[in-house]
Chain A
Amino acid sequence: MSAFLTVNNLSAALHGFDQRVLRSVSFSIDTGEVLGLVGESGAGKSMIGKAILGILPSAISIIEGEILLDGQDLQKMKPADRRRFIGATAALIPQDPLTALNPSRRIEPQITNRLVDILGWSKANARVRALELLNEVHIDNPERVMGSYPHELSGGMRQRVLIASAFAANPKLVIADEPTTALDVTVQKQILRLIRELQERHSTAMVFVTHDLGVVSKVCQRLSVLYGGKIVENSSVPDFFAGPKHAYSRALLAATPKYTDPDASLLPVDEAVIEAVAAEVLASDKEWRHGG
């Protein structure tokens, strides 16, 4: 069976600059599979998710490569068709639940609007579905929450609402963009478990963007390590934690805190490693220029 999402040789660049922000990124995900995108801040992890969903900032555009979602080449679609197709097929779990809900609208339309406006459900059916989903994300009083405004809910509650909203239309692909970064640690754990639960139940393909390797080990089957917008290592999760191949990946893994041995972990990434991986990225740029 061919992969549900295939990203092929994808490059993106800032307008008017020669510099690429995504450097020939390729990966694929099957139905029901979770891919972790890992890297430090500015490595381009979120950028990949945004490129797939068609929400890149206006200053950045895709300059080459293709994104195949459910067999459809997104770059070849008309922008309006592409938006509707993405809206019907994929969903985003955003990073910051405090800013991702519209402050002047109640929760109910924010969960049901995609079902009603894009997928043509009746309002009554969409409401039933929303209540069902709020139950699935373990919200005790779904009726009350549906009628609330975002400012009346806690951060953890809002992220549950956003997860419910993401899974509402039975998307075949979910992009989780650091969904737990803005939450405190105790809530993080519940939210992670919840995302994993829904992903398994609906056998959704998922791109999980994070800088936390601990989270990757719990949620993902495979992972890609990014540096400077380039994938430096693709690996299955068990293989990666058994021994990463790339020096930068090894350094990242060593930098991850371990509760069992706090003194031996949290090592800063060695400068020599950074220089080496940066040189590798630049070399790939040269190759790309000559090739292209």
Chain B
Amino acid sequence: MSVTLIGAAVVVFFVIRVVPGNPIAMMLPPGATEEDIARLTAHYGLDKTIFEQFWIWLAGVFHGDFGTSISLRQPVMPLVLGRLPATLELAIFALVIAVVIGGAMALTGVRHRETRTETAIDVANGVGLSIPDFLWALILIVLFGVLMPVFHISGRISPSLDLPFVTQFYVFESIARLRFDLWWDLLKHMFMPALALAIPLAAIISQLLKQSLKETMHLDYVTLSRTKGYSENHVILSEALPNAVLPTLTLIGVQFTFLIGGTVIIERLFSYEGLGNMAIDAVINRDLPLIQGIVIVFALLFTIINLVVDMTYALLNPRLRHA
């Protein structure tokens, strides 16, 4: 885990310094003198060699100091951690939507296998998979933002509302405070970006889960439970599903990290105040410390997700429990 993090840190640190573009030049107004540029460059330590810079940054990281954002002139970590909850809530909401839609489609497809219903589900999966999330975002904006304006197309919460929140986890906190008016407003903002992220994942889940369920339905223990007098629904849900869900679970883990990657562009499209939106600004401004901080947090998130998936897998599969 720590190897992954250090690897990500090293790669990003050097790659963003190879990419052309000078943060100092972006900060200064036109007409700044050479002397101004040199002074500011020295202030941010950018006049040192790349290895010296890395060493200074790494030493800071081990003390919990991720540097100061060049464009926002604030410490990196509070900035990043302030935005992370918004992205997490969006990603989790998208994951829930994907699992619910994908799971329901897979179960329906298996219950009515080899009928037109299954064909319809296969077609829907194909459509869901072949359109990328950012295109879904635009389609949704046109449909539910412009033609039938039922959802908000921009921001995280309506700016006119008074916010009593002390944490950045607005959705969770609004539930905890029983402020369902705020919760509803947040949901109306989150729904479209979350759905755009969820549709491709839902299609993948639906397809894989349906396939493994169909294979499981032919196995002897499933047939045996049919002879015991169980209904087909019971056979699918309690005999086949617990076994068929395992490969899908691994896939969800991998795809969830892609989904979080997808939030970068989706947040931009919906002007959602999350980490991804901040990442794009950071890149545009060549804000090196901020980019590094964001990447480290994303990398940490991915390793945590993988760990959680492995642990869930072991929990559901008794053959791995004692291993």
Contact = CB atoms under 8 A, between A and B. Distances in A.
Interface string A62-93: 00000000000000000010011111101110
Interface stretch (A101-109, A218-226, A234-242, A264-272): A101-109
A185 to B, nearest CB: 22
Given A99-B219, A100-B220, A151 B319 contact: yes
A96 B227 contact: no
Given A102-B243, A103-B318, A104-B316, A113 B228 contact: yes
Contacts of A58: 114
A104 B317 contact: yes
A88 B243 CA distance: 26
Contact of A53 (B227, B231, B239, B319): B227
Interface string A102-141: 1111000000011001100000000000000000000000
B242 interface: yes
Contacts of A87: 227-230
A84 B229 contact: yes
B285 to A, nearest CB: 51
Given A100-B220, A104-B242, A86 B227 contact: yes
A61 to B, nearest CB: 13
Query: Secondary structure of the B side of the interface?
Result: helix
Interface residues of B, number: 21
Contact of B224 (A86, A94, A117): A94
Contacts, number: 69
A16 to B, nearest CB: 13
A interface residue count range (under 10 / 10 to 19 / 20 to 34 / 35 or more): 20 to 34
Given A99-B219, A100-B220, A103-B243, A83 B319 contact: no
A102 B220 CA distance: 9
B319 A149 contact: yes
B114 to A, nearest CB: 7
Given A58-B114, A102-B243, A104-B316, A94 B229 contact: no
A114 B228 contact: yes
B226 interface: yes
Contacts of B228: 87, 91, 113-114, 118
11 contacts: A53-B226, A83-B229, A84-B229, A86-B229, A90-B227, A92-B224, A96-B220, A99-B219, A102-B225, A103-B318, A114-B229
